[in-house]
Structure 1
Amino acid sequence: MDVVTLGETMVLFTPESSSLIKYSHTFSRKFGGAETNVAIGLTRLGHQAGWISRVGKDEFGKAMLAFVRGEGVDVSQVKTDETAPTGLYFKEVRSGDNVKVQYYRKGSAASQMTPDDIDESYIKKAKYLHITGITPALSDSCYETVLRAVNIAKENNIKVIFDPNLRKKLWSEEKARRVLLELAGLSDIILPGFEEGKFMFDEKDPEKLGELFLKEGASVVILKDGPRGAYYFTKDAHALVPGFPMKTVVDPVGAGDGFAAGFISGLLDELPLNEAVRRANAVGALATQVEGDFEGLADREELERLMAGTDGDDVDR
């Protein structure tokens, strides 16, 4: 197994008859969740990924497992909860830079995860453990579950990759800041967005943010800065790797997860750090060109076309 991740994936409904939920009478059903977005992004690029979670014993849970399994992700560690439902959310895409999300996840099956859901032998098979700041926000037991997974990884010299993925709707800012900093201190590689860095450290300068994250204990920090690209920081070097600005953005949700998948793919292919970041920028950019959280995640052919500059007229050169 190349990468193991854990967290909640939900059923996603988006309006069809109107861009606004309150005027829409029909909705399309899809799925979305940061961790499965990353896992699917990795399988599309030819890597092995496994997902740990819970789903409800309902038709949504069955459909979700079938879909994620169909994308090549191992779902053997996903448990079916007999009493709690699969979580839902609605996404309203008003424009490429105006997206509203409403969650219905309180008491969901995934929020009931406990440390007992973690199989140590499963994580020990992986090269990387991928975690986000969403999962510990779901419940105290989810927080303990993430810590259990991280401790297993660290005990077995498995690299921990942490994407803060700040969701202010899920918890207080004080608790979010405390837990995100705690997880940053336990991680080997951190993938914050620029706004997340400002939230965590009350600092706006990219270079200072990189230094602050490194002081937390990580060996590599990748600071995402939207279409501009991303900075990488190690104890020996740092630089901005330019992004792939697109002329239009259809749906920005999932771009950060695409970035994470692209970067981890680069690590698995043993690319130099700057090339891994460049791949991440490309996968993230392509993810914005299609409506849906995972639909725009690239395969190798699409990725190579964009990176070679032969992807038609979509790139704003």
Structure 2
Amino acid sequence: MPKNREVDVVTIGESMVLFQPMSEKGIKYEALFTKTLGGAESNLAIGLTRMGKKVRWISKVGKDPFGDFILSTLAGEGVDVSHALKCEHSPTALYYKDLKGFGDPMVYYYRKNSAASKLHPSDIQDEWLLGAKHLHVTGITPALGEHTAAAIRQAMERAREKGMTISFDPNLRRKLWSEEEARETLLSLIPLCDVFLPGIEEAEFLLGKLDIKAYGEKFLEMGPSVVALKLGAEGSMGFVKDDTVLAAPYTVSQVVDTVGAGDAFAAGFLSVFLERYQQEKNEITSEHLLNALERANILGALATQFKGDWEGIPTLEELNALVNGLGNITR
């Protein structure tokens, strides 16, 4: 895939090889595992690509078969990986997911000293952002290594200098850093984004216990133009200056795996938001905000119907058929 093609979105962050037990016995007793990949930014990249957007994913992977697997899988999904870096002396990260049939799965990370944890401000290149309209980052990458927070900050600052819009999902991972460091770092990055995408638990972690609408108001005061607050089974709420929009949840009968649902939500939201925002010259109406939240709710809910972090995200054609009540011809 040629470098420097025009893309709608650039995202920077670690992907890991994901192993899951084939049965419901759990890691302790299972002998057979499936192999796929997972990572907030790559989940979003796949989701946006399936929504018809052009996405460039950037990270460091190890110079090992796991890194090759990640790059080939993402490229096979249509994601531009031409700027990904290979690290000679650090491995690709792994993680294991333990599904027990009740509650959220337990996740075990093996990502300390991984290739992506070595991301440094000196790695950030202007050509990563060349031909791009939007940058998406999460709060996971800043937690990975000694210099990763500074690297993400620099990427956001460069994107802002180039006139790009920026979205930021805090994607809190308590296993990766202390609560004090997490809160301080995440709050410091909010003023650099245009779109902030927290969950209700993350909002409470960052600001304490508040009324739901107060979260939106407080985050808007920090600098973003739009706040999309995920409310889980209650749907989502969007905030812009002088307006608040509530989007009803998309109801599913069961939940198989919640990991990746927030990334699918972000992909759904951005796939609508970016079109409308650019058309309206950096403004968004309440109607467009509602449309973005509704698609986000659908993609987030559908992502919970499958094992794996991104496999349940539909294509745009499949989504439109679902929304319009059109069944697929299967035989």
Q: Which runs of 4+ in 1 moved over 4 A?
A: 309-312
CA contact (8 A) 1:96 1:252 kept: no
Query: Which residue identity is paired with 1:300?
Result: L
Structure 2 CA distance for aligned equivalents of residues 266 and 76 of structure 1: 26
Query: Which residue identity is paired with 2:150?
Result: E
Whether 1:282 aligns to 2:288 is: no
Report the CA distance between 1:309 and its aligned residue: 4.6
Structure 2 CA distance for aligned equivalents of residues 308 and 203 of structure 1: 39
Residue 87 (structure 1) aligns with: 93
Q: Does the C-alpha gap of structure 1 residues 78 and 228 become closer, same or farther in structure 2, counting only changes over 3 Å? A: same
* Deviations 1:155-190 (CA, angstroms, capped at 9, x unpaired): 111111000000000000000000110111211110
Whether 1:54 aligns to 2:60 is: yes
CA contact (8 A) 2:24 2:99 kept: no
CA contact (8 A) 2:104 2:258 kept: no
Report the CA distance between 1:98 and its aligned residue: 2.7
> Does the residue aligned with 1:253 lie in a helix, a strand or coil?
coil
Residue 279 (structure 2) aligns with: none
Deviates more, 1:72-81 or 1:261-270: 261-270
Query: Which residue identity is paired with 2:323?
Result: M
CA contact (8 A) 1:17 1:24 kept: yes
Q: Does the C-alpha gap of structure 1 residues 37 and 139 become closer, same or farther in structure 2, counting only changes over 3 Å? A: same
Report the CA distance between 1:311 and its aligned residue: 6.7
Residue 273 (structure 1) aligns with: 289
> Does the residue aligned with 1:269 lie in a helix, a strand or coil?
helix
Report the CA distance between 1:19 and its aligned residue: 3.3
Alpha carbon RMSD of aligned pairs, Å?
Answer: 1.4
* Deviations 1:45-83 (CA, angstroms, capped at 9, x unpaired): 111000110000111111111111111111111111000
Q: Kindly tell me the number of residue pairs found equivalent between the two proteins.
A: 312
Structure 1 CA distance for aligned equivalents of residues 258 and 67 of structure 2: 25
Report the CA distance between 1:17 and its aligned residue: 4.0
Structure 1 CA distance for aligned equivalents of residues 16 and 95 of structure 2: 7
Structure 2 CA distance for aligned equivalents of residues 16 and 285 of structure 1: 23
Provide the identity percentage: 49
Among 137, 146, 151, the alignment partner of 2:143 is: 137
Residue 297 (structure 1) aligns with: 313
Whether 1:11 aligns to 2:27 is: no
CA contact (8 A) 1:96 1:251 kept: no
> Does the residue aligned with 1:24 lie in a helix, a strand or coil?
coil
Query: Which residue identity is paired with 2:188?
Result: E
CA contact (8 A) 2:137 2:167 kept: yes
Structure 2 CA distance for aligned equivalents of residues 307 and 205 of structure 1: 32
Deviates more, 1:82-91 or 1:228-237: 228-237
Normalised TM-score (structure 1): 0.95
Normalised TM-score (structure 2): 0.91
Structure 2 CA distance for aligned equivalents of residues 215 and 82 of structure 1: 43
Query: Which residue identity is paired with 1:286?
Result: L
Deviates more, 1:266-275 or 1:27-36: 266-275
Report the CA distance between 1:116 and its aligned residue: 2.4
Q: Does the C-alpha gap of structure 1 residues 206 and 309 become closer, same or farther in structure 2, counting only changes over 3 Å? A: farther
Q: Does the C-alpha gap of structure 1 residues 124 and 167 become closer, same or farther in structure 2, counting only changes over 3 Å? A: same
Residue 118 (structure 2) aligns with: 112
> Does the residue aligned with 1:23 lie in a helix, a strand or coil?
coil
Report the CA distance between 1:96 and its aligned residue: 5.6
Q: Does the C-alpha gap of structure 1 residues 29 and 311 become closer, same or farther in structure 2, counting only changes over 3 Å? A: same
Among 230, 240, 243, the alignment partner of 1:237 is: 243
CA contact (8 A) 1:10 1:32 kept: yes
Structure 1 CA distance for aligned equivalents of residues 199 and 230 of structure 2: 5
Residue 225 (structure 1) aligns with: 231
Report the CA distance between 1:20 and its aligned residue: 1.1
**Runs of at least 5 residues in structure 2 that lack an aligned partner in the other structure:** 1-6, 277-286
Query: Which residue identity is paired with 2:294?
Result: R
**Runs of at least 5 residues in structure 1 that lack an aligned partner in the other structure:** 313-317
Residue 103 (structure 1) aligns with: 109
Residue 42 (structure 2) aligns with: 36
Among 207, 212, 215, the alignment partner of 2:213 is: 207
